[in-house]
Amino acid sequence: MINDGFNLKGKVEVRLNDEVVREIDNLVVTTGKGFVAASMIKTTSNSPAAMTHMAIGSDTTNPAAGDTALGNELGRVTLTSAAVSGAVVTYIATFPAGTGTGAVVEAGILNASSSGTLLCHTEFDVVNKGSADAITITWTVTVS
């Protein structure tokens, strides 16, 4: 009997002004898994838009599989880069000074500049982002 489990796992590294302040696991939500499945068949009616944005927020509610958005989004930016190597996809985004300022405790990857499909959602201990601070998040999603 063949048993080949298909899993998506994510890791998130948060840097505040170039210093690593958090390293956490994340949740690939139900809509994200649907996105991956739909991406395996390229048709004009079934081709989801690529993941292009990352958002940060201030809601302390634990991420759940049914999430479709962050709890309280503080800011959203276009990905700085997205790359694939083997079975690992790496997304990087920088929230510059003045963007996403506040008590940041959650992040997500999405495929639109507003709304869109949520691929991953994570929560972490507070990172206080002042108006002059920059946050860079490196997010890896591994297919195993």
In a domain, 124, yes or no: yes
Report how many domains make up the chain. Answer: 1
Q: What's the CA gap between 9 and 28, in Å, rounded?
A: 7
29 forms bridges with which residues in the sheet? none
Kindly tell me if the per-residue pLDDT of 3 is higher than 80: no
Domain-embedded: residue 132: yes
Strand partners, 42: none
Considering the domain boundaries, does residue 62 fall inside one? yes
pLDDT of residue 83: 94
Q: Which residue do the tokens 């929560």 mark?
A: 123
Across 107-123, average pLDDT: 95
Output the pTM of the full model: 0.89
pLDDT interval class at 7 (50, 70, 90): confident
Span 27-68, pLDDT tens digits: 888 888 888 887 777 666 667 789 999 999 999 999 999 999
Q: Would residue 17 count as lying in a domain?
A: yes
Decide: residue 110, CB within 10 A, 0-12 exposed, 13-18 middle, 19+ buried. Answer: buried
Q: Is 130 part of a structural domain of the chain? A: yes
Domain-located, residue 4: no
Alpha helices in 1-98 (DSSP H): 30-39
Residue 8 domain-assigned? no
The pLDDT value given to residue 44: 67
Name the residue range of residue 99's domain.
13-143
* Tokens matching residue 98: 């003045």
Any domain includes 50: yes
